[in-house]
Structure 1
Amino acid sequence: MNKMAVIGDSETVLPYKAFGFMTFSTTSAECDGIIRKLMSDEEYRIIFIMEEYAEALRDVLKELRASERTFPIVIEVPGIRGSKGNGQEKIKKIVERAVGMDIFSKED
């Protein structure tokens, strides 16, 4: 069975639980062990992680992207206090690489 997980503080992960996501309420100091555990579990396909937690895990996330594995896909989401823009920028780069151009550009 394919699973999706959310890692963040309790305020951020709570709404995701209502939609059936596996939620991991933690601190940024503890999220390293959690994301490594989720990455080794082949049932997890998508992992959403709070932007500020992802900043503390840059090396781990870089290691995942460098591997040849397709899953899990890690997506940064804003916390309850708002977005830092990191997640949006990463999605923009992924789409640009897949499509071959920047479709989010405001130029006509």
Structure 2
Amino acid sequence: MYKIAVMGDYDSVYGFAALGLDIFPIASQEEAEARLHQLAAEEYGVIYITEALAAELKHEIARYQDQIIPAIIEIPGVSGNTGNGVRGVKKSVEQAVGSDILFSN
């Protein structure tokens, strides 16, 4: 069974521990790169990563883009949000449902 990880600044990720997810507070870009590769090599099927951290790791995340596992998903953090997390979730829902769920007449 695959595990779920959440990476980002401490304030953004600590609440996910209450949901039973494995949290990985990150302090530096070098630590983030190493942790991402470690999680991808282990039994993590989904890695949530804050938008701000994902912006710093674009090249590293791109290495996993063509793989099914792990799924690396951007989420909003407490700061430095770009809107990519919301756009990514919206796009995934549109693909699954077949229509724009936020469009209203």
Query: Which amino acid is 2:81 matched to?
Result: S
Letter in 1 for 2:25: S
Distance 2:14 2:39 in 1: 19
Distance in 2 (CA, whole Å) between partners of 1:19 and 1:97 is 26
Q: How does 1:87-106 map to 2 (within 5 A)?
A: 87-106=85-104
Q: How does 1:60-71 map to 2 (within 5 A)?
A: 60-66=60-66, 69-71=67-69
| Aligned-partner residue type, residue 57 of structure 2 | L
| Aligned counterparts of 1:45 and 1:13: Cα–Cα separation in 2 | 18
Q: Which residue in 2 is equivalent to 1:86? A: 84
Give the match for residue 5 of structure 1.
5
Structure 1 residue 35: Cα displacement: 0.6
Which of 92-101 and 19-28 deviates more? Answer: 92-101
Seq. identity, %: 37
Are 2:40 and 2:70, in contact at CA under 8 Å, matched by a contact in 1?
yes
1:59 corresponding residue in structure 2: 59
State the Cα RMSD in Å: 1.9
For 1:99 and 1:19, locate their aligned partners in 2 and report how far apart those are by CA, in whole Å: 26
Cα distance in 2 for partners of 1:79, 1:28 equals 16
Tell me the alpha carbon deviations over residues 46-65 of structure 1, each in whole angstroms, 9 at most, x when there is no partner. Answer: 11111100001111222211
- Shift of residue 28 of structure 1? 4.2
The aligned counterpart of 2:40 is 39
Q: TM-score, normalised by structure 1?
A: 0.81
